[in-house]
Structure 1
Amino acid sequence: MNAAKRLEIFRRLCEDNPNPTTELNYQTPFELLIAVILSAQATDVGVNKATQKLFPIANTPDAMLALGVAGLSQYIKTIGLYNSKAKNIIETCRLLIEKHAGRVPNTREALEALPGVGRKTANVVLNTAFGQPAMAVDTHIFRVSNRTGLAPGKNVLEVEKNLLRHVPKAYLQGAHHWLILHGRYVCKARKPQCGSCRIEDLCDFPDKPKD
């Protein structure tokens, strides 16, 4: 895919949604961090249902640490892998207090040193909470990048690097959100909605549905 096509893709996505953001509900970087940790192998809707009860009770590292693993588990038990997530979150809260004065760090190295925080989670926090042009490649972004020809790659890291290299700078900050939303609601895994897709004419997908 050439640079002109990429530019037009993001121009249209931006035109339709000028201020894209995550569908996770949060008010602070700490709330976002916890929500993203919980979202692994879970839906944003499911996470939001849990955090709307959790955050009014505990939305700081101190308050969440005070809940303990057992207490936290009661709020997130509807989410997959909640036991391991509860353990990671409590340990993360302890480290935030001990090493970062209770604040969420704004560097990849410090974020990835926290339990339950991998590269993708760190990228979401860096992008959404701190305004850094990081690219969190999930299954939606991986699929859209390869299917459209926007930034193909054999693995998520390769796609991430290709997106950072090829996405026009003016659109780099919002690209992560536009691509997730496009993959979630239009360029779906089993049945892409090509007929109602704003960028269908720019997409290099060879197997577009005819109906």
Structure 2
Amino acid sequence: MNKEKRGEILRRLRDANPHPTTELRFETPFELLIAVLLSAQATDVSVNKATAKLYPVANTPEALLALGVDGVKDYIRTIGLFNSKAENIIKTCRILLDKHQGQVPENREALEALPGVGRKTANVVLNTAFGWPTIAVDTHIFRVCNRTGFAPGKNVDTVEEKLLKVVPAEFKIDCHHWLILHGRYTCIARKPRCGSCLIEDLCEFGDKVYA
């Protein structure tokens, strides 16, 4: 896909959604970090339901640490992998208090040192909480980039590397959100909604679906 076509795709996505953001509900960088930790192999809807009950009770490292692993589990049992996630949350809270004065660090290396935080989670936090021009590649973005030809790659790291090269600076902060929402609601996995896609004529997917 050439530069002109990519630019037009991004302009259309921006025109349709000028101020995109995550569908995870949060008010502080810490709430976002915990929500993203919980969202691994889980839907944003399920995470929001859990945090809607958890955050009024505990939404700081101190408060979650006071709940303990079992206390956190009581609020996140409906989310997949809740046992390991509860343990990682408590370990993360302890590290934040011991090493970062209870604050979420605006630093990739420090974020990725937290239990359960990989590159994708760090990218989401840096982008959404701190406004960094990072692009977190999840399964939706990986699919969209490969299917459309926007930034094909064999794995998420390759796709991220390519996106960082081909996405103009003016679009980088919001690109992650546009692509994930497009993959979640239009360019869905089993039966993409090509007939209602606003970038259909620019997409290089050869087997478009119109039913």
- TM class by shorter chain equals over 0.9
Where does residue 8 of structure 1 map in the other structure? 8
Report how far residue 168 of structure 1 moved. Answer: 1.6
Report how far residue 186 of structure 1 moved. Answer: 0.2
The list of structure 1 runs, each at least 4 consecutive aligned residues, that deviate by more than 4 angstroms after superposition, is none
| Aligned amino acid, residue 171 of structure 1 | F
* Separation in structure 1 between the aligned mates of residue 35 and residue 131 of structure 2, nearest angstrom: 17
* Separation in structure 2 between the aligned mates of residue 95 and residue 32 of structure 1, nearest angstrom: 17
Normalised by the size of structure 1, how large is the TM-score? 0.99
Where does residue 122 of structure 1 map in the other structure? 122
Decide whether the 8 Å contact of 1:151 with 1:159 is kept in 2.
yes
Q: Secondary structure at the match of 1:59?
A: coil
State the identity %: 72
Decide whether the 8 Å contact of 1:6 with 1:168 is kept in 2.
no
Q: How does 1:27-38 map to 2 (within 5 A)?
A: 27-38=27-38
Where does residue 66 of structure 1 map in the other structure? 66
Decide whether the 8 Å contact of 2:38 with 2:79 is kept in 1.
yes
* Separation in structure 1 between the aligned mates of residue 151 and residue 133 of structure 2, nearest angstrom: 16
* Separation in structure 1 between the aligned mates of residue 102 and residue 96 of structure 2, nearest angstrom: 5
* Separation in structure 2 between the aligned mates of residue 204 and residue 189 of structure 1, nearest angstrom: 16
Decide whether the 8 Å contact of 1:20 with 1:174 is kept in 2.
yes
* Separation in structure 2 between the aligned mates of residue 119 and residue 55 of structure 1, nearest angstrom: 25
* Separation in structure 2 between the aligned mates of residue 16 and residue 99 of structure 1, nearest angstrom: 42
Decide whether the 8 Å contact of 2:153 with 2:159 is kept in 1.
yes
How far does the alpha carbon of each residue in 1:48-101 deviate from its partner, in whole angstroms, 9 at most, with x for none? 000000001111000010000000100001100000000000000000000000
Q: Are 1:166 and 2:166 an aligned pair?
A: yes
Q: How does 1:97-176 map to 2 (within 5 A)?
A: 97-176=97-176
The alignment of Structure 1 onto Structure 2 pairs a total of residues equal to 211
Q: State the Cα RMSD in Å.
A: 0.6
Decide whether the 8 Å contact of 2:193 with 2:210 is kept in 1.
no
How far does the alpha carbon of each residue in 1:150-208 deviate from its partner, in whole angstroms, 9 at most, with x for none? 00000000000000100121111000000000000000000000000000000000111
Report how far residue 210 of structure 1 moved. Answer: 4.3
Normalised by the size of structure 2, how large is the TM-score? 0.99
